[in-house]
Structure 1
Amino acid sequence: MQKILAHALLTDDGWHRDIVLSHDNGMITGLEDDSGKQTYDCAADVLVAGMPNLHSHAFQRAMAGFAERRGATPDSFWSWRKEMYRLALSMTPQQVEAVAAQLYMEMLEAGFTRVGEFHYLHHDGNGRPYADMGEMAGRIAAAAAQTGINLTLLPVFYAHAGFGGKPADDGQKRFINTPESFARLLEACQTHLAPLANAVLGIAPHSLRAVTKEELAAILPLAKQAPVHIHIAEQIKEVEDCLAATGQRPVEWLLDHAPVDERWCLIHATHMTETETVNIAKSGAVAGLCPITEANLGDGIFNALPYLAHNGAYGIGSDSNVCIAVNEELRQFEYSVRLDTHMRNAVARPDSSNGRVLFDGARAGGARALGAASPLAVGSPADLVALNLQGQDWIRQDAILDSWIFAGNIAVDSVWVAGRQVVHNGRHKARDTINRHFGTAMRQLFAS
């Protein structure tokens, strides 16, 4: 058993002062007022629950900072995608594992304690399945094990290059499966996840342009009661192509043709009508927002206010992994709504802290989307983040979250996953080894 003295601690029922949190065998076992007589193993200025990261493409971390040079014509998501495909075709399993480990280490240092890996890099560079169909998923699982992050693995079903069952192109050959091969892939993924404590296996039909109606119906039963994630309405061109092919917009089509409920996470959901926005909120699905990536790729702005007015659930993800920061994702979300609506404190409810609303909403929605409990409470996993006030002891209660998210003057100090401390003084305990392997992989990828 370990005991942590938290001078400020946030639970679902609010802030508490001077609490001793006990954890044992990965679970929180006690929350007691500090009598001044208790012994404890370490102390924290502030203790909060870890944040879920509901959407990641780990291999894309290798592109961070390498896609910011403009071409001869205006750049877009689609020109960026061409560069991403080139990277995807070049990476070995060993390189994917090294890049994923670097990424997951950075997530932990930022205060994320679970990642939803939207994993679609399945086959070898020629598009052939490995002898072990789950080879690449095994590399993701190995990176999670090395770093200590909780993993929700979301193997992607990807079959086509466009609506109407358009044949996949050469850049997509590492992604492609049939419903039958996808079922075998899921079995292999389950084997690789077996050694990981608290791992969750879901499924991810990539997008409506990559999956036909019949294929979607065939793979959904494979999820059983596990999470189902899908990219939807990220780009205007996607909406236009869907309208041309089906007569409906992507969100409209999905709600009419699939059993969308609390198990589902709709990634991006950027270009929606108000009716679609309200209907997603009412379905119980989680909107998977990736504000930094959506800004980086020029996707657009999520229709937040009507969605939140109907109690829509949301979480945050780092998607292309160009920047890894809990507070910056939440800040970018709020600022995008401000720019769209010309309001300040747009996401906050009346007479509430914006930081608190953002943090609580993203934590709860992200946990639901990843199939994992998240509250800081007795009986829950000890997935904890200690924040360092950096001498600013006058910052109290919700102002702590406001300052962390909007002022950036509070730092992540320590992180525990299932009671195991993986970050101390802002640094992952295996940083040197992980960073060295990452450097080797990057030099191989970008040697030319």
Structure 2
Amino acid sequence: MNHPQPPAPGPSNDLLTIALLSIDSPFFYRAGELTCEDVPLAIIAAAVDTPVYVYSRADLLRRARAFLETAGAATGPGRALVCYAVKANGNPAILRLLGEVGLGADVTSGGELFLARHAGIEPGRIIFSGVGKRAEEIAEALTVGIRALHVESEMELAAVAAVAERLGRVAPVGVRVNPNISATTHPYISTGLHGHKFGVPRERAIAILRAAAAHPWLRPVGLAAHIGSQITDLDPFVQAVRFLVELAGEMGREGIPLAYIDAGGGLGIDYQGAAPGAADWVRAVGALVGAAGYELIIEPGRSIVGRAGALLTRVVYTKEQGQKRFVIADAGMTDLIRPTLYQAYHPILPVVEPPKAAGDDELVDIVGPICETSDFLARDRALPSIAPGELLAVLHAGAYGYAMSSNYNGHLRPAEVLVEGDTFRVIRRRQTYDALLWGTE
């Protein structure tokens, strides 16, 4: 499988991004300062300190509405449900914003179900996915009356049936099918092959649907597939949906009619290269589902929040070590683990716009304060000369940034800020040291 690699080092790696920032991004230079919407990032850093995640309200709403409008057009009014993947970014303010504009939620735990409900998202617009649902979580989902539980094994179906019978509630279930379709992405976020833990093969999916249809406390309602994350080729999505549509048709002819096809999520964004737009993806899968007469469910996450957010960090020191030059920032793998975990590439820009022809670009490793060699935000990155005290913005960091942050090495999780026009507000305060004592005696 091809692993995504950062571009070859060169003086224009991230500076080229400057020219592209005004395209499809809320972050851009104005009067020499990097801004989010109409707020200079330096003002946010002065008010809130660093590290801090910064999100654009307008960008979040624009992307969410694009999914809603395209999905409705592809399938017809009332025939599509866009369930935001809460795992991408579960900040309650962001969830409430997306829920108010019309998105449902795709959750993978009782905690995410709690967050979705706390944000006001209606239970009938919530799908519960994931391979390891505990009985308590299943009970919580059935009690509030969510749209469906997506089961991923025969044992899980039995657990859902037992909880449903105990509660006296018929459980709506979908089956996540593993279509054995390869999608080019990092192996840690590829989920659609038989060697992965997710879903079940076709014949087992049929057996599960038959068992659900025969059970008095179960009601089969749909089929789902999710083949991976950060996928930038539409063909694997189309293959997976065709597979589901054909299987749903076969079940219908057998007397087990299904209401919807869940095409999953996983649409990539252009961290460093071209990626299909949301409209292209929705039209490609929606047309197939709509033509077959099923409702469409999709689960976008990264493609809504990814480019809407940036991690703002301050340079603490610089350091020469042999042939290496290190820029040591106050944000590291505890704030943004994607570069460490997936070798992911994020554009990084100075908050103060560099001179157009300074001629002092240098290759640097941008690293954090964590006691691990793998603690880096970028390696061999070409940037203008950076001095201690300067601010850097790690772009396209709205998805799987704060959501995967930690307190490793005793570091505090960062603040989060939402920008609206020329104002901003803190939507999650920075942790204090007391947070490190939570739950202890």
TM-score by length of 2: 0.36
Higher helix fraction (1 or 2): 1
- Mark the structure with the bigger radius of gyration: 2
TM-score by length of 1: 0.36
